[in-house]
Chains A and B, each alone.
Chain A
Amino acid sequence: MTENNADIKQRVEQTLARAFEVSPNEVAALGMGLHPRWDSMGHMDLIMQIEKEFGLRFPTYEIAELTNPAAIVKAVERHAQK
């Protein structure tokens, strides 16, 4: 993993921790449907917070894939490479 990717991972995890008010060591266990607030509205709130954090905009088709921290990190990395 490059330093840049490590930074992305950390910032995604911080955003997730803020969004769902959990501690950083609880982030890995988060997932859509696994946390009471990660429902449809929680998902879209999270997407918009990630977009704001990284200054990007996910296309609609990609939003359905972003259902866990690892998938979000990968998607942000893809966008960062563009």
Chain B
Amino acid sequence: MYSTAELPVTIPVDLVDDFLAKLHYVSESLEKFELLPDERNLVRFKVAPGHQHDSSLIAERIAEVAKKMCDAHRPAETKVLVSRKGLGQYNLDPQPTLEREGELRRFGRGRYGLGPRLVALMAFFDRELTRTFLSFSPKQYQFPSLIGADVLERCKYLRSFPHALTLVSHLREDLAAVQEFARSAKWDGAQLTSDPAHLSAIECLLAPAVCFHCFAWLQNSQQQEDSSVTAIGKCFRYESGNLEGLERLWDFTMRELIFIGSPDFVLAQRQKAIEGTAQLLDDWGLGYEIRSATDPFFIEEYASATFQLAFDLKFEVRADLPYKQKTLAVGSFNFHQDYFGRSLNITNTNGEALSTGCVGFGLERLALAFLAQHGLDNRNWPAAVADNCS
């Protein structure tokens, strides 16, 4: 049986996707929901069997999400920097075929294993991105998957994206707790059951982005000159019911190019990266746009999305997914102003907080978008990819 939540506001058309994405975090009892498409001021929802008593609380929370997001939202014109029609003729979802052919294996929500062809394609994209990034003379780094909670707290990431965090725990250093866990922990078909009292406090999380490690490395330092860094790493963003195949993974791989320096330096590097990577995407025959975008801030901090748009802080590469007649963000070009410089005390020799920026490409998404546009038969791929990707 469906219940309804009357919203105190009408959700603007350009906010609908973001609003619905946030509703997955309203309650574990919430099974399904939809916004009335025309009026956009009423949500129909269904709760899990046995949880009907949660309906009124869920309705209140849905209304709260709507109110807070609408208060912070401002309509904005999308700025399109680059727009390309692709060369691909394919229009099917490549994922079922990849699964059938043993190239893709789902392990769980947002967790996939990739076979040799996907790995080769991703390695090719990474090589080409890295080659393009050479013109920035970046220093190469390697970072862990774990990141200290202290860093994410100082960067206010815990406050801005609490819904996306993946917290890491281990058993407490307590012989009885370890023994009891070993005796009693069981997979119940959906989760590991164990006594939460045996788990440690949170010291680390799985890193949501590569660049945080770089900024953590530089914290409390004075930089003599502008610099660039590149690194590849695993990133983790829990997206609840929004997790969907290779389109939206909990655990994914990102190549980043990071800039640290004066605002002029960072903005010039970002612009150069936009031009360089657009050339690369053209060589791969992709259909895409590079356009203004925002990060998925949680509802309390949703005004930060408006701030990003107002100050042109984020542009995304949105590649066509013909099988969905939608686009998918495969990369982004970000200017953080002096946010990390101030948060982590990264300064120039005059003690002024430095600006930072980063370019990031999700390799699984790039591979998916490429296959979605060109198909799995490499005889139909652009030569720039087919000749160099085996």
Contact = CB atoms under 8 A, between A and B. Distances in A.
B294 to A, nearest CB: 11
Nearest to B353: A33
Interface residues of A, number: 18
B303 A44 contact: yes
Interface of B is mostly: helix
B339 A60 contact: no
Given A40-B337, A41-B304, A63 B74 contact: yes
A39 B339 contact: yes
A55 interface: no
Contacts of B338: 33
B301 interface: yes
B310 A60 contact: yes
Nearest to B352: A33
Interface string B307-318: 101111000000
A60 B303 contact: no
Contacts of B307: 40-41, 43-44, 63
Nearest to A63: B310
A64 interface: yes
B189 interface: no
A54 interface: no
A40 B288 CA distance: 30
Interface string A55-77: 00111111110000000000000
12 contacts: A33-B338, A39-B342, A40-B339, A41-B303, A41-B307, A43-B307, A44-B303, A44-B306, A48-B71, A61-B310, A63-B310, A63-B311
Given A40-B337, A43-B307, 19 more contacts: A33-B338, A39-B339, A40-B304, A41-B301, A41-B303, A41-B304, A41-B307, A44-B304, A45-B303, A59-B75, A60-B74, A60-B310, A61-B76, A61-B77, A61-B310, A63-B74, A63-B307, A64-B310, A64-B312
